[in-house]
Amino acid sequence: MIDPAPIQPAAGKPVVIRKRADAQTPVRRLGGLDVAVVTGVDAIARIDAAIASRQRLQIAFVNAHCVNVSMTDADYAAVMSEMLCLPDGIGVDVGSRMLFGEPFPENLNGTDFLPRFFGETQGELRVGLVGGEPGIVDRAAERFGERFPQHRFIAVSHGFFAEGEETERLLDWIRLARLDVLLVGIGVPRQERFLARHVGVREAPVAFAVGALLDFTAGKVARAPAFVRRLRIEWIWRLLMEPRRLARRYLAGNPAFLARIARQRLRK
């Protein structure tokens, strides 16, 4: 292992804008990001089509933190404009209700969506994993393989690689693996920038920016109990599990997100 302005809505309907990178997918603008208005079934069909046709498709999961980052990092917002951005968590649903009068059709957070995709997608896939501390991708690949034996999960690299020679070496290994799908979990906004700058069809036609998915899958970080997830307060669980790392994101970030959405609503 190596390492566009919103259009005016019809009466009673939410504002929907179109994304430059994908004119066929309706989106809602939250902060600096266009978040897709899709169901899980629709998203999986799009991904399957991209794999079958070997067309480049990159997917990111957008939560309140991502919206906050997009408002202070223009490069990140530009990168995300070229990706299929799926709604992740209660924060973006609150934002959607405030701006458009209704939530997104589904909560397509990566920790639940990726296993669903692997279970429902057609064919046998070669899936590469990059991210986490040393050893994380090995354990995550093993666990994914046990759950979805129809696919081949390849531990490519941990997430501690530098730009330059180390990144080029990593890309060489990714190309040799002949991947259909690449999962990269090295944190926002680094993972999205990595995909935009370095990953094309030659590396993997479909690539996901997956955040902490690999840590969850490997068992390094415990997932919230099912009842907590049903209540949609998993962020509280994560804050309790990792207070030092996540306190600022949630305790300061959540109010900042709501303030930004409120200002956006006033400007409409």
**Does residue 102 sit within a domain?**
yes
122 confidence band (pLDDT: 50, 70, 90): confident
**Does residue 1 sit within a domain?**
no
* One domain, residues 117 and 149: no
* One domain, residues 172 and 40: no
Domain coverage including residue 144: 124-221
* One domain, residues 162 and 96: no
**Does residue 193 sit within a domain?**
yes
**Does residue 2 sit within a domain?**
no
For Cα atoms 81, 85, 90, give the angle at the middle one, nearest 5 degrees: 130
**Does residue 233 sit within a domain?**
no
Q: Which residues pair with 264 in a beta bridge?
A: none
* CATH at 162: 3.40.50.2300
Q: What is the pLDDT of residue 123?
A: 86
Structure tokens at 111: 């920790």
2 C-beta neighbours (distance < 10 Å), count: 14
* One domain, residues 17 and 112: yes
* One domain, residues 152 and 113: no
pLDDT in tens, 214-249: 999 999 988 889 999 988 889 999 999 999 999 999
Name the domain count of the chain. 2
